[in-house]
Amino acid sequence: MATKIKNYKALTQSILTKKENKVYNATAFDQTTEILNINPEFYTIWNYRRDIITSHYMTTLTTDELASFFNNELIFNMNKFKQFPKVYWIWNHRVWILENHPQVNWEGELALVGKILALDARNFHGWTYRRFIVQKIEKATGKSLALKEFDFTTEKINNNFSNFSAWHMRTKLVPKLFEMRATKDFESVEGFLKKELELLKNAMYTDPEDQSVFIYLRWLLTDELFVRNLPEDKYLEILKAELDNIKELNELEKEDNGKYNNWCLKTIVIIHKLISEVTKGKEADEIQSSLIELIESDPLRKNRYIDHSKS
């Protein structure tokens, strides 16, 4: 072990010296490979590797040679993925490769990230990368993939409700799909909202501690797409129905666990506030009552809850 540490320190010193002296050649490149195989989170070395590629390989290779070089770089990058799928710098480097690759197979990259998310559907970096790939394909083809991506999020959510990235992706896709009138499902705001709320109800009862579900619920109940396009009486009806659902779940949580659920309490305060905005302040007592229960349940965040109730 002592020998390995000594060798690693020597290698690090050697490569950082080359970086400082702006040495851009194959020897330095090979050393970055060696050190990244040991420590893929060494972002300074990733940056230096890109400098070498830019200053050495991209200035000396033909287009076909450069394509071959970048293909090998993608293979190296993929090997890092397999070992360290949640290291940001690996994902960052792959994006850079594709931005500079002269012959990118975007559809292949979409299939690849689909496989990665099949192994870990909650990999945040994977979802971010998928959005990048989709944007590139849409730009190249002039066709929207929003509906396919929405269906992809539905698939992942149905497999596991606890998927923050999938719920978050829906907040980006739904407005686009309504603007496009992509299918009949995206023609009626009220109809769509009721379907989504039913999906959320199943998710909340499955795992009441999953914050991603409540965050998406808040988006559904407050986004302008729904608030502006629903008649006031319909919006109020939906708010009250959702309030009843959350209160029911909260009581079940108390029966099962001996205490109220913090996310239910937070959501109850939010919905009371939304109702109050429609009814011109008639929910003040209910807001105060729910806020007191929330503070009693989670006293460490007392000031935050009071501030939120005023916002």
- pLDDT the model gives residue 269: 87
In contact, 38 and 9? CB cutoff 8 Å: no
In contact, 283 and 308? CB cutoff 8 Å: no
Could you give the 3-state DSSP secondary structure of residue 25? coil
Could you give the 3-state DSSP secondary structure of residue 12? helix
In contact, 146 and 176? CB cutoff 8 Å: yes
Average pLDDT over residues 153-170: 96
pTM assigned to the model: 0.87
Banded model confidence at residue 5, pLDDT cuts 50, 70, 90? confident
Residues 129-152 have pLDDT tens digits of 999 999 999 999 999 999 999 999
Contacts of 71 (CB under 8 A, 6+ apart): none
Residues 238-267 have pLDDT tens digits of 999 999 999 999 999 999 988 889 999 889
Phi-psi region of 181 (alpha: psi -120 to 50; beta: other; left: phi over 0): left
Q: Is the model's pLDDT at 308 over the cut of 60?
A: no
What span, in angstroms and rounded, lies between the C-alpha atoms of 301 and 296?
10
What span, in angstroms and rounded, lies between the C-alpha atoms of 309 and 311?
6
Banded model confidence at residue 186, pLDDT cuts 50, 70, 90? very high
Q: Is the model's pLDDT at 306 over the cut of 80?
A: no
- pLDDT the model gives residue 298: 66
Banded model confidence at residue 1, pLDDT cuts 50, 70, 90? confident
- Mean pLDDT of all residues in the chain? 92
Determine what percent of the chain is predicted with pLDDT higher than 90. 80
Question: What's at 136, amino acid-wise?
Answer: K
What span, in angstroms and rounded, lies between the C-alpha atoms of 236 and 276?
10
Q: Write the DSSP symbol of residue 300.
A: G
What span, in angstroms and rounded, lies between the C-alpha atoms of 274 and 138?
37
Q: Is the model's pLDDT at 284 over the cut of 80?
A: no
Question: Within a 10 A sphere around the Cβ of 290, how many other Cβ atoms?
Answer: 27
Banded model confidence at residue 3, pLDDT cuts 50, 70, 90? confident
Structure tokens at 139: 């730009």
Question: What's at 110, amino acid-wise?
Answer: L
